């Protein structure tokens, strides 16, 4: 079974959860990267505006093709009660292509459900599971039990993934002997 954990992280919290999850699942890790940076107060304001307006910023080329995985786990920070704009771009780019997905988000306190709704809409697929991790729990390292449960669920989902689309097999014919 092959699992990809794709995530966007502006300040490192979602990245920490993604890395811990990938280690438990023996999964490949794919940071979602943009062509522009969004640090500082200007980056914060831009992030807020983009999340509210449903903007989809340009992403850098990816190193992992999600089509090759039984399960793609996608992580996002919550921005103004919405999915982060780079994750919206990622999901939209793979709409109709990812066979099986699960979502997680990190947040200060509010907005997880609407962020998950945004993710469903952008990907056009119902995820097998959604999990929210609060900054407070992550900082206090009290999120590990939830992380283990989430990982166990994802492992089981990946094992019963719908069949992969295989490349056409070569036309091998039994040679005829006279
Ligand atoms: C622009 C912006 C908007 C945010 N909006 C929310 C919000 O609506 N609800 C919430 O609970 N947390 C909100 N947060 C907090 C982040 O979701 C939270 O700190 C998250 O863990 C950050 O993840 P990161 O370090 O991977 O970027 C916001 C953070 C930023 C930068």
**Which of 11, 14, 79, 134 is the best mutation target for the ligand 1 pocket, counting ligand atoms within 8 Å of the beta carbon and taking the most?**
79
Identify the CATH number of the domain in which residue 107 sits: 3.40.50.360
Tokens of 117: 């709704």
C-alpha to C-alpha distance for 69 and 139, rounded to whole angstroms: 31
User: How do residues 67-122 score in pLDDT, each as one tens digit?
Assistant: 999 999 999 999 999 999 999 999 999 998 899 999 999 999 999 999 999 999 99
Is the model's pLDDT at 168 over the cut of 50?
Answer: no
Q: Please check whether residue 174 lies inside any domain of the structure.
A: no
Q: Which residues contact 95 (CB under 8 A, 6 or more apart)?
A: 122, 123, 124
**Residue 170 included in any domain:** no
Evaluate whether residue 176 is within a structural domain: no
Across 14-36, average pLDDT: 97
* Helical spans, DSSP H, in 54-175: 85-93, 112-123, 135-139, 144-159
Q: From the CA of 11, how far away is ligand 1's center (Å)? A: 9
Residue 74 maps to a domain: yes
Q: How far is the CA of 78 from the centre of ligand 1 (A)?
A: 5
Position 164 in a domain? no
The pLDDT score that the predictor gives to residue 174 is 40
Pocket probe for ligand 1: among 108, 110, 133, 135, the residue whose CB has the most ligand atoms within 8 Å is 108
Residues of the domain holding 122: 3-159
| Alpha carbons 157 and 163: distance in angstroms, whole number | 12
Cβ atoms of 71 and 3 closer than 8 Å: yes
**Structural domains counted in the chain:** 1
Calpha distance 147→25 (Å, rounded): 11
Q: Please report the atom of ligand 1 found closest to the CA of residue 138.
A: 21
DSSP E strand stretches across 8-143: 28-31, 71-79, 82-83, 101-107, 130-134
């Amino acid at each position: 079974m092959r699992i990809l954990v794709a995530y966007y992280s502006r300040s490192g919290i979602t990245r920490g959860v993604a890395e811990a999850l990938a280690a438990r699942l023996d999964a490949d890790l794919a940071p979602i990267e943009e062509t522009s940076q969004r640090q500082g107060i200007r980056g914060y304001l831009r992030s807020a505006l983009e999340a509210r307006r449903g903007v989809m910023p340009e992403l850098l080329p990816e190193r992992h093709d999600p089509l090759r995985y039984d399960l793609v786990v996608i992580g996002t920070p919550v921005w103004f009660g919405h999915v982060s704009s780079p994750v919206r771009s990622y999901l939209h780019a793979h709409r109709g292509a990812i066979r099986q997905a699960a979502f997680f988000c990190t947040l200060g306190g509010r907005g997880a459900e609407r962020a998950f709704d945004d993710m469903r809409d952008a990907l056009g697929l119902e995820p097998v599971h959604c999990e929210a991790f609060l900054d407070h729990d992550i900082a206090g390292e009290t999120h590990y039990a939830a992380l283990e449960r989430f990982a166990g669920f994802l492992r089981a989902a990946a094992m019963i993934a719908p069949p992969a689309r295989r490349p056409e097999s070569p036309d091998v014919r039994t040679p005829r002997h006279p």
